[in-house]
């Protein structure tokens, strides 16, 4: 028997484990991080003495037994809408624009209030799946920190005071209209995916002669600029990862954060079929991104080498190999050969050869926040050339009509210039938060002094709102009408699912009211009573098929989607003139700063949603903070340990922040997540992490977020990062099984070590349904949308940073992340872990009060009202999936949040255990419905929340007693395996082995990975 | 010596009374906290005996959710107005005036809940009605009640007694009701 103490584990979860740090060993042996009572718990008013006092009081109450329980009231409708039935959900199709990502929603509502966001199966972008932020945005609707009405800020001349008063809409409109009549108006807005909002903004501009400027907190300006230059055509390209057999991502996180990650993840998974046709992903990157963690081959480069790397591949193809029609183009060769001597530290010959071999079905993508270097557009031009060389244009890369995201005629640097020239009297800001995401060097704040009035259509007292004179508080998108044209060319409708909670007004209604006051208002504006009427008329005018008729409109509201309107497709010609400006940049010395978006927070708009703050990052597994990520080698030379403070200095800007040592990160690079360090976003977000944008550079009128020369100094002090990965150690047994594609095709599941098991029990009999699940490790990319879906579906509380550190996080579904191989550049595996619903469940046998028991349908039930909180079950659970309610978490939920609770699931109380139920309420509801309709369950009728949310289709669930359900085939296939099979727990959840499209595995387990504990 | 005797007696008495309590609770001799017989005053004196008894109006005419939903639902104001609208049944009754006033002013009537189950119990009306169970099995002879009373204990024992009958073919998993 080998043990971990004597050998470096091949699969490891943290550097402490890899190094066999004694502290980690202690932690691993301890099993539970938290003891029943922490030394400082008393400070929260929950000391043991307090507990005993309360217990005494409740004992006294029970002895006076026959008192009526709390009287409840039933308040029926006055006039019940015909389609609302108390106890049943109504589903409304809607849309959610998350930056440049357009997702189709199906909003579950109960008694007129939305309780859960799901994906619209008819929307081609997400096909029923949903992103983390899509799920989480419902809590922004119920955010207690939202403004409840329009506000006026009584600013002094320098806009430095903060005196915010409520104002009536009439008074606000009067003041604004009076100001607008003076002329010189600028509108600063985001790249809006709503065609009707764009039309309305244009109408407003025409009515007042206002000028429009574009600004996005997370910008794709370089990509748009490069598309214009490369093809003489505006707009953004459309990628088809499903058609790509060989994908190269260069400092690009297309699975996690870039452009349309949900769509790309789905397309990528569709080509991840375990056949000879399976795709291969090669990633060159500086930080460890979600995409990098899913790579078959991964190489490390610095941000400043991004362009060099693309050029190195081009050099190899055009100059060394002399392939493609561009090899004879002098202009191209001149531009490319200028990079011939660029050192990228990686031999790209093999990658280039593979790309050429797969030409027409390969795809190269680059760019994003973490490669937002100076002249980032050059990277995209070079990538466009590379895709043209590889004949991917019109195949895996398609242009989309210019209608999607109109290019900006002017951006924020033009605005700042004209503000400084005193050409702007009134500034209207909507859909972006420039005071948060612009670096100080842009001098936007200073330019405010030349403006008479600033109007902001935000929803809270955030960074930009505090400089505005008026805040015309906007609706949440679930309260508002709208439409959306996503980048794949699909039109969809956004319809309100709840009456506005507060005295807020749609941004579009505000613009409409103001535009109407102008004598030059267009007929379209004058003819529209409100924003809904405007939207409806706009769709009539556009005459989009049947949607222009009333019946067609009703049908559109039902389905939510009008697809196939904008045809993309067709090849386009690369204009070699685009290469003229591209020259090698000067070398960078020292550390390079690379900012990045996290999968949870992105640009930080939803930072006040506790679910997102407590979601363990898919890679670092850290919650509630941002941190400077540093490679293990750099950390060693700086003598850094996890959580030590470092000071990052860029010019005169400094940030002191805890460090996280990130395996797989390029040396000489510091990563820092944006989206944190919000001010005025609300009680949850404020004070969490620091604003990375403060270190961004301002160069030639655009923001630089990467490749910034940075001084890194250890500054003393240490912060404990709330990381969920150190807990739940699995002691190096056969947890994750990987196979190469070659091995898999020869013998699927051949590397799985099987055990001959015998049992003294006869086992349970399952005569009706037997519920089971299969999780495909091959398509799961670790995006964590399922975790938030589960949290939303099952009323799971958040506990805060302090208790995450103590290991008390409550998410029922966790995703374990294992590193494989050398910390310099390891492979990564993501493994979602719900309750295994074991047939021989160890938890059931140890419960003294039978609060957890086995059902005749194979589920492991948890009866909260029986549970007395011994936690024996959790002790005995080999998978550590049980969560204990240390406190009455439901008391901490602010009032509006309570409206998001799912009434089908009990809100748990203090002192009880809870865990994944296989969404038993969904099973029960489906069975009741089937019974009422005199039928049995249809195959695949029941979906769990995690399964429904997964865009890659990694989770299959259903009845194992019925071969018509998709899960039965997956469950019994030779490549499926049970976790810790040797314990004979007979889990109802199995995993499909992970297949890597490589020659050799870094983990290469021969027998049980390492250290088999027999 | 005497101390030990006293101690033993005390222990015996305690154990004896404990087993008495357990026996009484287990055999439904004493029912604690189930509110059987609870008759709250309602904001409107709605006589079930007149509606369901004298006029034999089907329960499902007002309690519309029973066949499809978890909840039976208390009728909304417009359902009352179907019969008690202007110049219809019993317009001069002061109780009906209350209902009419509330309806005309867009106010809902806040009824006192009679049959209350805890949050952790998920009872679903629809499959029970589908299985042909009469409303009176749980709710008693409502057609004879002037004021609605909680007729059964609605305890877990009450539910399980029925679910255990072989002819009902009903599940008795914990997760049948608790989730």
> Which structure tokens are listed for A87?
């106890």
DSSP helix/strand/coil, A774: strand
Tell whether B63 and B21 lie within a shared domain. Answer: no
CB proximity A848 to B under 8 Å? no
Convert A542-554 to b/e letters by CB count within 10 Å (16 or more is b).
Answer: bebeebbeeebbe
Question: Tell me, what's the pLDDT at A938?
Answer: 92
pLDDT of residue A544 exceeding 50? yes
Which residues have CB under 8 Å from A980's CB, separation 6+? A733, A734, A735, A878, A879, A987
Which chain A residues are within 8 Å of B122, Cβ to Cβ?
904, 906, 921, 924
Phi, psi angle pair for B37, to nearest 5° = 90, 10
For residues A266 and A101, the answer to whether their CB atoms sit within 8 Å is no
In which band, very low, low, confident or very high, does the pLDDT at A618 lie, cut at 50, 70 and 90? Answer: very high
Tell whether B22 and B85 lie within a shared domain. Answer: no
Task: Please judge whether A859 and B175 are an interchain contact, meaning their C-beta atoms are less than 8 angstroms apart.
Answer: yes
CB proximity A68 to B under 8 Å? yes
pTM as predicted: 0.89
Question: Tell me, what's the pLDDT at A1007?
Answer: 45
Tell whether B127 and B92 lie within a shared domain. Answer: no
A33-90 pLDDT per residue, tens: 555 444 454 444 444 444 444 444 444 444 444 445 567 899 999 998 888 899 899 9
Tell whether B140 and B166 lie within a shared domain. Answer: yes
> β-pairing, A669-673 with A591-596?
parallel
Task: Please judge whether A85 and B122 are an interchain contact, meaning their C-beta atoms are less than 8 angstroms apart.
Answer: no
Please give the Cα distance from B129 to A949 (Å, whole number): 34
- The nearest CA of chain A is from the CA of B104 a distance in Å of 9
Question: Tell me, what's the pLDDT at A24?
Answer: 62
Please give the Cα distance from A469 to A694 (Å, whole number): 24
Please list the helix, strand and coil fractions of chain A in percent, rounded to the nearest 5, in that order: 30, 20, 50
Residues 135-194 of A with CB under 8 A from B: none
Question: Tell me, what's the pLDDT at A491?
Answer: 87
Question: pLDDT exceeding 90 applies to what percent of chain A?
Answer: 47
CB proximity B106 to A under 8 Å? yes
Q: How far, in Å, are A445, A914, A917 from residue A713 at the CA level?
A: 30, 44, 48
- Pick the closest to residue A72 from B18, B117, B172, B24 (CA basis): B117
Tell whether B61 and B118 lie within a shared domain. Answer: yes
Convert A575-593 to b/e letters by CB count within 10 Å (16 or more is b).
Answer: bbebbeebeebeebeebbb
- Pick the closest to residue A429 from A606, A213, A196, A607 (CA basis): A213
Degrees to nearest 5, angle at CA A185 with A183 and A190: 160
Tell whether B151 and B141 lie within a shared domain. Answer: yes
In which band, very low, low, confident or very high, does the pLDDT at A759 lie, cut at 50, 70 and 90? Answer: confident
End-to-end Cα separation, chain B, in angstroms: 54
For residues A390 and A149, the answer to whether their CB atoms sit within 8 Å is no
> β-pairing, A101-110 with A426-430?
unpaired
pLDDT of residue A499 exceeding 50? yes
Span A591-723 CATH architecture:
Beta Barrel (2.40)
DSSP helix/strand/coil, A134: helix
Average pLDDT of chain A to the nearest whole number: 85
Please give the Cα distance from A116 to A952 (Å, whole number): 20
- The nearest CA of chain B is from the CA of A130 a distance in Å of 25
For residues B131 and B162, the answer to whether their CB atoms sit within 8 Å is no
Phi, psi angle pair for B51, to nearest 5° = -70, -55
- CATH number among 3.40.50.1820, 3.40.50.740, 3.40.50.970, 3.30.530.20, domain A151-219+405-562: 3.40.50.740
Query: How many other C-beta atoms can be found within 10 angstroms of the C-beta atom of residue A85?
Result: 18
End-to-end Cα separation, chain A, in angstroms: 8
Tell whether B116 and B106 lie within a shared domain. Answer: no
pLDDT of residue A396 exceeding 50? yes
Question: Tell me, what's the pLDDT at A569?
Answer: 54
CB proximity B113 to A under 8 Å? yes
Across the interface, of B113, B119, B174, the residue whose CB is closest to A863 is B174
Tell whether B116 and B176 lie within a shared domain. Answer: yes
H or E element that contains A673: strand A669-673
Residue located via tokens 């001349």: A157
β-strand partners of A595: A672
For residues A455 and A429, the answer to whether their CB atoms sit within 8 Å is yes
Give chain B's domain count: 3
CB proximity A907 to B under 8 Å? yes
Span A4-30+726-754+773-996 CATH architecture:
2-Layer Sandwich (3.30)
Phi, psi angle pair for A884, to nearest 5° = -110, 135
Residue B162's domain comprises 36-74+112-179
Please give the Cα distance from A658 to A706 (Å, whole number): 19
Alpha helix (H) residue ranges in A943-1008: 945-949, 966-972
A706-716 pLDDT per residue, tens: 888 899 999 88
> Which structure tokens are listed for A301?
């480069």
Question: Tell me, what's the pLDDT at A787?
Answer: 95
Query: How many other C-beta atoms can be found within 10 angstroms of the C-beta atom of residue B43?
Result: 14
- The nearest CA of chain B is from the CA of A241 a distance in Å of 41
Question: pLDDT exceeding 70 applies to what percent of chain A?
Answer: 89
Task: Please judge whether B107 and A78 are an interchain contact, meaning their C-beta atoms are less than 8 angstroms apart.
Answer: yes
CB proximity B86 to A under 8 Å? no
CB proximity B123 to A under 8 Å? no
Question: Tell me, what's the pLDDT at A1009?
Answer: 42
CB proximity B178 to A under 8 Å? yes
- The nearest CA of chain B is from the CA of A931 a distance in Å of 6
Longest CA–CA span in chain B (Å) reads: 88
- Pick the closest to residue A15 from A618, A636, A598 (CA basis): A636
Phi, psi angle pair for A670, to nearest 5° = -115, 130
Q: How far, in Å, are A272, A352, A432 from residue A243 at the CA level?
A: 11, 19, 35
- The nearest CA of chain B is from the CA of A862 a distance in Å of 7
pLDDT in tens, chain B (179 residues): 578 888 898 888 888 888 887 777 666 566 666 788 888 889 999 999 999 999 999 999 999 999 999 999 999 999 998 898 877 888 888 889 899 999 999 999 999 999 888 889 999 999 999 999 999 999 999 999 999 999 888 888 889 999 999 998 899 999 999 98
CB proximity A809 to B under 8 Å? no
Convert A388-408 to b/e letters by CB count within 10 Å (16 or more is b).
Answer: bbbbbbebbbbbbeeebbbbb
Tell whether B63 and B90 lie within a shared domain. Answer: no
For residues A363 and A239, the answer to whether their CB atoms sit within 8 Å is yes
Question: Tell me, what's the pLDDT at A571?
Answer: 62
- Pick the closest to residue A600 from A581, A626, A575 (CA basis): A626
A942-978 pLDDT per residue, tens: 999 999 999 999 999 999 999 999 999 999 999 999 9
Superfamily of domain covering A221-398: Dimethylsulfoxide Reductase, domain 2 (3.40.228.10)
Please give the Cα distance from A239 to A241 (Å, whole number): 6
Across the interface, of B65, B102, B175, the residue whose CB is closest to A855 is B175
Question: Tell me, what's the pLDDT at A734?
Answer: 76
CATH 3.20.20.70 holds for A90-141: no
Q: How far, in Å, are A181, A185, A521, A850 from residue A516 at the CA level?
A: 12, 16, 6, 68
Task: Please judge whether B178 and A76 are an interchain contact, meaning their C-beta atoms are less than 8 angstroms apart.
Answer: no
A177-213 pLDDT per residue, tens: 999 888 889 999 988 888 899 889 989 999 998 888 9
DSSP helix/strand/coil, A93: strand
> 3-state SS string over A784-802?
CHHHHHHHHHCCCCCCCHH
Please provide the DSSP assignment of A260-329 as one string.
SHHHHHHHHHHT--SSTT--EEEEEESS--HHHHT-SEEEE--GGGHHHHHHHHHIIIIIIS--SGGGG-
Degrees to nearest 5, angle at CA A644 with A640 and A649: 85
β-strand partners of A280: A246
Question: Tell me, what's the pLDDT at A254?
Answer: 93
Least confident segment among A130-139, A192-201, A393-402, A790-799: A393-402
In chain B, whose CA is at the least distance from the CA of A69?
B33
Across the interface, of A76, A857, A928, the residue whose CB is closest to B73 is A76
CA dihedral B19, B25, B27, B29 (to 10 degrees): 110
Q: What is the ipTM of this complex?
A: 0.84
Which chain A residues are within 8 Å of B112, Cβ to Cβ?
71, 73-74
Question: Tell me, what's the pLDDT at A600?
Answer: 92
Domain end call among B56, B83, B110: B110
Question: Tell me, what's the pLDDT at A881?
Answer: 92
CB proximity B119 to A under 8 Å? yes
Residues 80-119 of A with CB under 8 A from B: 80, 85-88
Question: Tell me, what's the pLDDT at B32?
Answer: 65
- The nearest CA of chain B is from the CA of A933 a distance in Å of 9
Domain segments of chain A as ranges? 4-30+726-754+773-996, 90-141, 151-219+405-562, 221-398, 591-723
Tell whether B43 and B117 lie within a shared domain. Answer: yes
Average pLDDT over residues A840-851: 92
Question: Tell me, what's the pLDDT at A546?
Answer: 65
Degrees to nearest 5, angle at CA A218 with A213 and A223: 80
β-strand partners of A819: A12, A828
CB proximity A720 to B under 8 Å? no
Q: A759 in the Ramachandran plot: left (φ > 0), alpha (ψ -120 to 50) or beta?
A: beta
> β-pairing, A994-996 with A738-740?
parallel
């Amino acid at each position: 028997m080998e043990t971990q103490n004597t050998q470096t584990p091949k699969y490891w979860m943290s550097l402490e484990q890899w190094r066999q740090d004694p502290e980690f060993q202690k932690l691993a042996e301890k099993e539970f991080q938290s003891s029943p009572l922490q030394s400082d718990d008393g400070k929260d008013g929950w000391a043991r003495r307090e507990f005993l006092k309360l217990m005494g009081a409740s004992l006294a109450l029970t002895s006076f037994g026959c008192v009526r329980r709390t009287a409840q009231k039933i308040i029926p409708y006055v006039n019940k809408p015909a389609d609302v039935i108390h106890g049943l959900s109504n589903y409304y199709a809607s849309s959610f624009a998350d930056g440049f990502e357009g997702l189709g929603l199906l909003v579950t509502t109960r008694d007129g209030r939305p309780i859960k966001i799901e994906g619209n199966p008819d929307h081609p972008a997400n096909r029923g799946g949903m992103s983390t932020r899509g799920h989480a945005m419902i809590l922004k609707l119920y955010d207690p920190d939202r403004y409840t009405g329009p506000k006026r800020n009584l600013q002094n001349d320098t806009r430095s005071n903060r005196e915010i008063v409520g104002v009536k809409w009439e008074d606000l409109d009067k003041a604004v209209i009076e100001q607008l009549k003076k002329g010189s108006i600028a509108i600063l807005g985001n790249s809006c995916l709503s065609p009707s909002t764009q039309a309305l903004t244009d109408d407003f501009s025409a009515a007042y002669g206002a000028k429009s400027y574009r600004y996005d907190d997370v910008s794709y300006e370089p990509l748009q600029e490069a598309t214009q230059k490369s093809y003489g055509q505006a707009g953004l390209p459309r990628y088809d990862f499903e058609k790509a057999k060989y994908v190269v991502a260069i400092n690009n996180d297309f699975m996690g954060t870039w452009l349309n990650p949900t769509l790309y993840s789905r397309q990528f998974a569709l080509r991840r079929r375990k056949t000879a046709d399976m795709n291969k992903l090669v990633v060159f990157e500086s930080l460890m991104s979600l995409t990098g963690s899913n790579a078959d081959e991964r190489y490390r480069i610095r941000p400043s080498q991004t362009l060099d790397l693309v050029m190195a591949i081009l050099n190899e193809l055009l100059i060394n190999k002399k392939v493609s029609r561009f090899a004879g183009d002098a202009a191209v060769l001149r531009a490319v050969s200028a990079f011939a001597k660029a050192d990228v530290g990686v031999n790209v010959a093999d990658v280039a050869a593979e790309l050429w071999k797969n030409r027409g079905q390969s795809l190269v993508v680059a760019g994003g926040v973490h490669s937002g270097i100076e002249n980032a557009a050059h990277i995209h031009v070079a990538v466009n050339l590379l895709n043209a060389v590889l004949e991917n244009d019109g195949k895996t890369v398609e242009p989309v009509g210019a209608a999607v995201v109109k290019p900006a005629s002017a951006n924020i640097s033009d605005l700042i210039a004209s503000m400084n020239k005193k050409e702007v009297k009134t500034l209207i800001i909507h859909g972006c938060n420039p005071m948060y995401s612009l670096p100080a060097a842009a001098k936007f704040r200073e330019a405010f002094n030349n403006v008479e009035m600033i109007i902001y259509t935000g929803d809270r007292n955030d960074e930009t709102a505090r400089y505005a004179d008026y805040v015309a508080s906007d609706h949440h998108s679930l309260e508002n009408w709208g439409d959306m044209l996503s980048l794949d060319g699909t039109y969809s409708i956004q319809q309100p699912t709840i009456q506005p909670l507060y005295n807020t007004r749609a941004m579009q209604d505000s613009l409409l009211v103001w535009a109407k006051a102008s004598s030059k208002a267009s007929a379209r504006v004058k003819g529209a009573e409100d924003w809904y009427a405007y939207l409806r008329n706009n769709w009539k005018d556009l005459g989009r098929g049947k949607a222009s008729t009333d019946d067609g409109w009703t049908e559109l509201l039902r389905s939510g989607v009008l697809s196939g309107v904008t045809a993309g497709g067709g090849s386009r010609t690369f204009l070699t003139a685009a290469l003229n400006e591209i020259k090698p940049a000067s070398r960078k010395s020292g550390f390079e700063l690379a900012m990045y978006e996290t999968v949870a927070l992105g640009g930080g708009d939803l930072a006040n949603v506790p679910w997102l703050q407590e979601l363990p990052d898919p890679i670092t597994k850290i919650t509630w903070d941002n941190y400077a990520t540093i490679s293990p080698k750099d950390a060693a030379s700086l003598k850094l340990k996890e959580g030590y403070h470092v000071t990052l200095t860029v010019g005169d800007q400094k940030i002191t922040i805890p460090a996280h040592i990130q395996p797989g990160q390029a040396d000489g690079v510091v990563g820092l997540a944006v989206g944190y360090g919000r001010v005025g976003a609300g009680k949850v977000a404020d004070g969490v992490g620091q604003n990375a944008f403060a270190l961004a550079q301002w160069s030639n009128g655009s923001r630089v977020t990467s490749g910034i020369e940075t001084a890194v100094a250890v500054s003393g002090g240490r912060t404990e990062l709330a990381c969920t990965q150190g807990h739940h150690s699995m002691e190096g047994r056969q947890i994750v099984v990987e196979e190469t594609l070659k091995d898999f095709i020869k013998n699927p599941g051949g590397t799985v070590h099987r055990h001959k098991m015998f049992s003294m029990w006869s086992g349970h009999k399952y005569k009706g349904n037997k519920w089971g699940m299969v999780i495909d490790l091959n398509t799961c990319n670790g995006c964590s949308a399922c975790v938030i879906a589960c949290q939303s579906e099952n009323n799971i509380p958040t506990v805060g940073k302090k208790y995450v550190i103590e290991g008390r996080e409550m998410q029922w579904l966790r995703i374990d992340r294992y590193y494989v191989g050398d910390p310099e550049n390891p492979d990564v595996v993501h493994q979602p872990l719900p309750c295994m619903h074991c047939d021989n469940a160890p938890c059931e046998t140890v419960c003294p009060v039978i609060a957890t028991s086995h059902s005749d349908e194979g589920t492991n039930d948890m009866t909260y009202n029986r549970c007395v909180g011994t936690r024996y079950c959790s002790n005995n659970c080999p998978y550590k999936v049980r969560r204990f309610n240390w406190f009455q978490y439901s008391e901490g939920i602010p009032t509006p949040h309570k409206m998001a609770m799912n009434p089908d699931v009990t809100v748990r109380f203090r002192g009880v255990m809870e865990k994944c139920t296989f969404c038993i309420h969904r099973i029960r509801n489906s069975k009741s419905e089937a019974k009422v309709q005199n039928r049995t369950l249809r195959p695949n009728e029941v979906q769990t929340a995690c399964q429904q949310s997964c865009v890659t289709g990694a989770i299959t669930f259903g009845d194992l007693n019925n071969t018509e359900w998709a899960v039965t085939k997956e469950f019994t296939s030779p490549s499926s395996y049970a976790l810790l099979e040797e314990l004979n727990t007979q889990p109802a959840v199995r995993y499909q082995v992970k297949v890597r499209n490589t020659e050799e595995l870094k983990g290469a387990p021969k027998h049980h990975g390492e250290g088999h504990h027999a | 010596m005497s101390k030990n005797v006293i101690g033993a007696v005390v222990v015996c008495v305690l154990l004896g009374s404990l087993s008495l309590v357990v026996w009484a609770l287990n055999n439904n001799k004493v029912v604690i906290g189930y509110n059987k017989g609870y008759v709250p005053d309602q904001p409107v004196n709605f006589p079930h005996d007149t509606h369901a008894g004298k006029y034999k109006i089907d329960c499902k005419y007002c309690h519309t959710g029973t066949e499809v939903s978890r909840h039976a639902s208390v009728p909304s104001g417009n359902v009352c107005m179907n019969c008690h609208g202007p110049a219809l049944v019993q317009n001069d009754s002061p109780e009906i005036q209350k209902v009419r006033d509330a309806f005309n002013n867009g106010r809902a009537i806040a009824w006192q809940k009679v049959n209350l189950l805890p949050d952790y119990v998920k009872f679903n009306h629809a499959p029970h009605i589908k299985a042909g169970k009469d409303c009176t099995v749980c709710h008693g002879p409502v057609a004879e009640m002037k004021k609605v009373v909680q007729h059964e204990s609605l305890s877990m024992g009450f539910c399980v007694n029925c679910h255990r009958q072989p002819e009902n073919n009903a599940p008795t998993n914990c997760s049948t009701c608790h989730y």
